[in-house]
Amino acid sequence: MSPESLAALIAAAAFVVLVIVLIPAIQSLRKSSQSVAALADLLTTELKPTIRELNQVLEELKTVGGGVAEHTDDVKRFMTALGDTGTQLTSINRSVGTVTSVLNQAGAVAAGAKVAGKYLLEHYLKRTMKGA
């Protein structure tokens, strides 16, 4: 065999081995490209409605956000009024406590005066009875 025919035979064998190895790789590549195409179609059909819904939700959120911004001043006024009411209730509570304290002291003074009056009356009556 001549060197040229031997080189041709080796080249042919290498070409056969290359074709045998490349056929599964090409089939796998074809399946992958089909899967990618199916995924792209799925994303296109599923993603467009989802994006539309998201845009609608964003519009609604903007509307709600605008409404909240409009009523922020009302909430601030309400909270201020609530704080003022709490302050006034505290003042009223202190005043009621003071009045209660004064009434308790007045009750104690009245009880003391009653006891002292009884004592003085009894003492006076005893003196007048002895002198009579």
Question: What six digits make up the tokens of 8?
Answer: 């041709």
Give me the phi and psi of 127, to 5 degrees please: -70, -45
pLDDT in tens, 96-123: 888 888 888 888 888 888 888 888 888 8
Q: Under DSSP, is residue 74 helix (H, G, I), strand (E, B) or coil? A: helix
**b/e map of 28-58 (b: 16 or more CB within 10 Å)?**
eeeeeeeeeeeeeeeeeeeeeeeeeeeeeee
For residues 71, 77, 79 and 81, what is the CA-based torsion angle, rounded to 10 degrees? -150
pLDDT in tens, 54-111: 889 888 888 877 777 677 877 788 888 888 888 888 888 888 888 888 888 888 888 8
